[in-house]
Structure 1
Amino acid sequence: MSTEPRKILIVGGVAAGMKSASRLRRLDPKAQITVVERGIHLSYGACALPYVISEEIEDLDEVRQTANGTVRDEAFFSMVKDVEVLTRCEAVRIDREKQELEVHFLDDDRYQSMSYDVLVLATGSRPLVPPFPGRDLAGVCALKNMDDAASIAKLVEPGARAVIVGGGLIGLEMAEALGSRGMDVTLLEMQEQVLFGILDSDMAEHIHRVLRNAGIKLHLGEALQTISGQNDQVQKVTTTIGSYPADLVILALGAKPNIELAQEAGLNIGPSGAIAVNQQMQTSDPNIWAAGDCVESYHLLNHQPLHLPLGSTANKHGRIVADAICGRPAHFPGILGTLLVKVFGLNVGRTGLSPEKAAQSGFDPVSIFAPSPDRVHSMRGAKPILTRLTIDRESRKLLGAQIVGPGEVAKRIDVVATALSFGADIDQLAQVDLGYAPPFSAAMDPLHQAANALRNKLDGLADSLSPLKLKQRLDLGEDLLLLDVRSPAEHAEVRMAGATLLPLGKLRAKVAELPKDKLIVPFCKISLRGYEAVRILHAAGFEKVAYLEGGLLGWPYELERGAPEVPITN
């Protein structure tokens, strides 16, 4: 048995690569560990870059510093980790038979072959930039690395015109970052909503409203056609619908895994277009592992392959790779697609499957949409959140959650992600022993309230309609009765067009005057009284009744304000 130290080569020096290197050193003090990195910056938090541009993070270097302020550079990894890092060094070819990696030293145009016992590919991803005319003009940028952030920051100027192409996570974060710096921001999205494929359309409507209220010029359903300029400087963006002046263009169209090195070496590529690995992060070559944004993941609930680049996943991958290489029992089970984003004070979270995706995956989804304050409502600083829970009808297993609102969203998303990871059902979520104190939560947490509302729906105690489902019925001209069971004072302040006001306290006395041949949709501010109205109507023999989930607080569409012009039942 050889006593020579293992030669471990790692391609990529950001999240997954440096996590692997650091963990490997702790587990194997004698290994010869070398990291090859094409750029000059190491082990930085790319997800923090929009907050550098917004100046919430004061110094760009902070994204690559330890908690005590030490910069994670070549010297740091050499002295602290005993890891050799070769920056400005590009991996160009893998010879799997010889177990050699050919590299190109960019500064002196020198090529060299490096032997390995173990090779780790952490090649990451790159911004998706289709071949639009004008994409190479000055002022047209994508945001992926520290150099991109530095370039964009130089172009930020109050009053200057920025056009962001893409309404995904980075597009939304950049809209806030540039808007907060006083720029005139236009956000273009080819779909009819932002966060398409991430949030349901009625949940996304809340983001649309916040963006517009913040002064962002939001254009949905517009696909980019060309970018044009003069003297090599961008001046205009043209879509399928219109043209918009631009001093700065941010392309935020998604990410593409860097698989070329693996593909040319004959490694298996998965159906998502990323490198295929097993649960130990091992590729189709037993001597080569892969981790991070270049790797394909599997969804824990429907077991479908997907590519979802996230720094959190990359760091988990890096640790698994090191453990597997060193023979420790470790495996990566998959992901839930848990995402968080902040948009002008609106917190947005998603985990698991949407109702649509759940149905496509063979489940029979049932959902509820429930608003609640994020803590005891009488506490100063209490803010609302809107929660959508989705379960499977037969098994009652949790399938996913979407939560939006100015209140505390992240901890609720994390609770649901934890519950999903352990296969919890809706009844278990309703009884989970969550922390309670008025500054943090109500006695019944928003998740408890949403879970109980969904149990009521599932058990036949009350049917309900989501805002989207009701909007679709109204748009089709369905003859139904919108029943506003709030007080006259609430109704005078804000209301839904065409609704009939009948306060809950008068409902029992007036129930005989209501029609039984059409669907009645009771609602109030959050539809707690709407649910009570359903129970009263059921007891009176009404069968066609379904309350509006979320009430007016959760209704993302247009509302009337001022003097009422709708029927009032006295």
Structure 2
Amino acid sequence: MGKRVVIVGGVAAGMKTAARLRRLDAEAEIIVLERGPQLSYGACGFPYFISGEVKSMDSFDHTPQGALRDSDYFAAVKGIDARCGCNVQKMDRVQKCVHYMEKGELKKLSYDVLVLATGSTPVKLPLPNADAAGIHSFWFPWDVEAVDKEIAEGGVKDVVIIGAGFIGLELAEAFVRRGLHTSVLEQQDRLLPQLLDEDMAALLLRDTKNPLLDIYLEERAGAFTVENGKVSGVQTDKRVIPAQLVIVAVGVRPNVELAREAGLVIGPSGCIAVNEYLQTSDDAIYAGGDCAENTHRVSGAKVFVPMGSTANKHGRVIADNICGARKQYPGVLGTAACRFFAQEAGATGLNERTARQAGIDFASAIVPGSDRLGYMPGVGRIVLKLLAEKSSGRVLGAQAVGASVAKRIDILAAAISLGATLENLSGLDLAYAPPFNTPIENIATAANVLQNKLDGQLRSINPVEFEKNRTQEDYLFVDVRTPAEVAAKRIADIPSRVNLPLDTLRTADISKMDKEQKIVTACQIDLRGYEAEVILRARGFQDVYSLEGGMSGWPYATESDKDKK
């Protein structure tokens, strides 16, 4: 028998470590202690069971061939001793053993190497009536089954989801698909607040319309109302929202109590501190998955990024290093994508908030486009936002909202991982055919726009900045779209505006325009706006800016919106 490796936690990182370790070392004694009743399940797909897109919970803990990934399976197929219902109470680093409860009996197990894959736990809201029936987290399989059962048994017409992160948005779509009126409550000012900047989150909100969906931003839950022991609503600081079912999806916290009590170092993110080899402050103990701290590849900051994909990569690295390799884990970019009804949203790298926290002097650009050539069936709008370091052009991060987002975010994640600059993005040799792309890929276009901005060739104004000042600032708004485009949709509450279509701008009589006044040009996607900016500067106007993203990238009020109210 080889060395004994004890793994605490048997879901993503734990079971990936065990499976990889067995492939590398036929002699190792591998024991997994999982406190829950199930092993190796795919929690990321749970919302799609609620929506009905995934038909069976078996999809999440069975192999493609239909075998249940339980203790018997891991023993027979992989030679791994995986035990459920084993709650580790204490680690003794001197004696190199763990103490755990199994079926009411306290037991002890020694180790040569210990792996902590203890995961994370949903945050609970300490509010009045928080323990009432009908209030759920949505993290474990039993949470999913309880929610599905309540819906199936009837009596649920209104759902409130507290939190507009990934789980909140994915569940909102799922509940609407089930025909339930759904309210999303978020105390911050945007959807996906950890992922998207204000401008991109506002775009996602702008294009999300459904009669069964209400979204309340900058609104805080204060209590749950109860009737006959069951939740009847959520009391906020502004209203009472009816609900027979409530999902609390305000985030998770890493399970580090065991490590802390054993004297392991806890990092600034609140996770277990690990080195580049995923070793803790004790060389004989590794940590992976949600409980382990990550290093951001761009900023170098220590971060908590609970992702199933990260957990699986951790497991592979840990197993290799247990077997003597010195494999380094390179860190994370926080890459993520989410489907929300007809749209996708995604991001990778730094956003404005995290770039500022890192002390990086950056510039950004918002660039709309089409996900394929406009004459192709199924063409969709995509809006990209790029951030780059001013001094070097190094790409820091990207966000996207619209169609075919995941493809672009994955390309950008790869590029950022390799240290790409805007020039590198502009020159990427990406696949082109009309059903898949445009001749100049959206990523290259966005890189060119931001490079023009850094070079001073383009002077643009971000939608957030323009929204804050559009009703007070002294400027002339020059809309260079056609009259028909302007009549269809234009930004509301602009005190001074003129419509000068681009094809008339070079010869138009602009003698009455004040060359000292600030001018903001705009079109549909900012291509004509940029052209107009250049033309007006050539005609003697110096204080000229184009509106980033044009009307496609404008997430705020328009006159057509106001007319509908």
Alignment TM-score > 0.5, same fold? yes
CA contact (8 A) 2:336 2:346 kept: yes
Q: Return the match for 1:138 from 127, 133, 137.
A: 133
Kindly indicate whether residue 454 of structure 2 is the aligned counterpart of residue 458 of structure 1.
yes
Q: Tell me the alpha carbon deviations over residues 474-497 of structure 1, each in whole angstroms, 9 at most, x when there is no partner.
A: 15x101111110111112211223
1:382 aligns to what SS in structure 2?
A: coil
Q: 1:478 aligns with which of 450, 470, 473?
A: 473
SS of residue paired to 2:48: helix
Indicate if the aligned counterparts of 2:180 and 2:212 stay in contact, CA closer than 8 A.
Answer: no
What does 1:477-496 correspond to in 2, within 5 Å? 477-496=472-491
Deviates more, 1:158-167 or 1:43-52: 158-167
Distance 2:302 2:186 in 1: 26
Across the aligned residues of Structure 1 and Structure 2, the Cα RMSD in angstroms comes to 1.6
* Aligned counterparts, 1:81-230, within 5 A: 81-105=78-102, 108-156=103-151, 157=154, 160-213=157-210, 215-230=212-227
Normalising by structure 1, we get a TM-score of 0.95
- Match of residue 502 from structure 1: 500
CA 1:158–1:342 in structure 2 vs 1: closer, same or farther (change >3 Å)? farther
1:24 shift after superposition: 0.5
- The equivalent residue for 1:409 is 405
Residue matched to 1:568: none
The answer to whether the 8 A contact 1:492-1:562 is kept is: no
SS of 1:347's partner is strand
Report whether the alignment pairs 1:447 with 2:446. Answer: no
In structure 1, C-alpha distance between the alignment counterparts of 2:94 and 2:135, rounded to whole Å: 42
Question: Among the aligned pairs, what percent are the same residue?
Answer: 44
User: Where in structure 2 are the equivalents of 1:246-395 lying within 5 Å?
Assistant: 246-395=243-392
Counterparts of 2:173 and 2:461, CA distance in 1: 32
Q: Does the aligned pair in 1 maintain the 2:189–2:217 contact within 8 Å?
A: yes
In 1: Cα distance, 2:208 partner to 2:439 partner: 33
Structure 1 counterpart of 2:423, one-letter code: D
Structure 2 counterpart of 1:429, one-letter code = L
Q: Distance in 2 between matches of 1:66 and 1:339?
A: 25
CA distance in 1, matches of 2:372, 2:193: 30
Please state whether the residue corresponding to 1:376 is helix, strand or coil: coil
After TM superposition, give the deviation of residue 246 of structure 1 in Å: 1.2
Question: Residue 36 of structure 1 aligns to a residue in which SS?
Answer: strand
SS of aligned partner of 1:366: strand
Q: Distance in 2 between matches of 1:563 and 1:502?
A: 24
Tell me how far apart the structure 2 counterparts of residues 49 and 562 of structure 1 sit (CA, whole Å): 36
Match of 1:124, as an amino acid? G
1:330-375 Cα offsets, whole Å, 9 max, x none, are: 1112111111111111100111111332133121111110001001
Give the AA of the match of 1:457: K
CA distance in 2, matches of 1:211, 1:409: 16
Q: Structure 1 residue 533 and structure 2 residue 532: aligned? A: yes
1:322 shift after superposition: 0.3
* TM-score of the pair, normalised by structure 2: 0.96
Counterpart of 1:518, as a letter, is: Q
Question: Which letter does structure 2 place at the counterpart of 1:136?
Answer: D
Aligned partner of residue 395 in structure 1, secondary structure: coil
Q: What is the rounded CA distance, in whole Å, between the counterparts of 2:507 and 2:217 in structure 1?
A: 47
**Any idea what the Cα deviations from partners look like across 1:62-116, whole Å, max 9, x if unmatched?**
01222333321212211111101111111111111111111111xx311110111
Q: CA contact under 8 A between 1:12 and 1:35: conserved in structure 2? A: yes
Once the two structures are superposed, residues 236-288 of structure 1 have per-residue CA deviations (whole angstroms, 9 ceiling, x without a partner) of 21112221121001000100000111111111111111111111111111111
Contact 2:16 2:312 in 1 (8 A): yes
Q: Note the alpha carbon deviations across 1:506-549, whole angstroms, 9 max, x for none.
A: 11222333221222111111111111101111111211111111
**Secondary structure of 1:143's aligned partner:** coil
8 A Cα contact 2:87 2:100, kept in partner: yes
CA–CA distance in 2 between the matches of 1:295 and 1:455?
37
Question: What is the identity, as a one-letter code, of the residue corresponding to 2:450?
Answer: L
> Are 2:66 and 1:69 equivalent residues in the alignment?
yes
Equivalence for 2:432? 436
* 1:205-252 deviation digits (Å, cap 9, x = unpaired): 122234443531111111111113133211121112221121001000
**Contact 1:159–1:184 at 8 Å: present in 2 too?**
no
Deviates more, 1:194-203 or 1:374-383: 194-203
The SS at the match of 2:551 is: helix
Letter in 2 for 1:232: G
Q: Tell me the number of residue pairs that the alignment of Structure 1 and Structure 2 aligns.
A: 557
Aligned-residue offset at 1:466? 1.4
SS of residue paired to 1:481 = strand
Question: Runs of 4+ in structure 1 displaced over 4 angstroms?
Answer: none
Equivalents in 2 of 1:557, 1:415: separation in Å?
Answer: 29
Q: Quick one: structure 1 residues 325 and 540, their matched pair in 2 at CA, closer, same or farther if it must change by over 3 Å?
A: same
Please list the CA deviations of residues 438-488 of structure 1 after superposition, one character each: whole Å capped at 9, or x if unmatched: 11101100001111111111111120011111111215x101111110111
Say if 2:414 is the partner of 1:418. Answer: yes
Question: Would you say the 8 A contact 1:492–1:561 is kept in 2?
Answer: no
- Structure 1 distance, partners of 2:76, 2:194, is 45
Equivalent residue letter for 1:270:
G
Contact 1:101 1:113 (C-alpha < 8 Å) held by counterparts:
yes
| Aligned AA (1:550) | G
Task: Please list every run of 5 or more consecutive structure 2 residues that lacks an aligned counterpart in the other structure.
Answer: none
* Corresponding residue of 1:567: none
Instruction: Kindly provide the amino acid, as one letter, of the partner of residue 454 in structure 2.
Output: L
Residue 383 of structure 1: CA displacement? Answer: 0.4
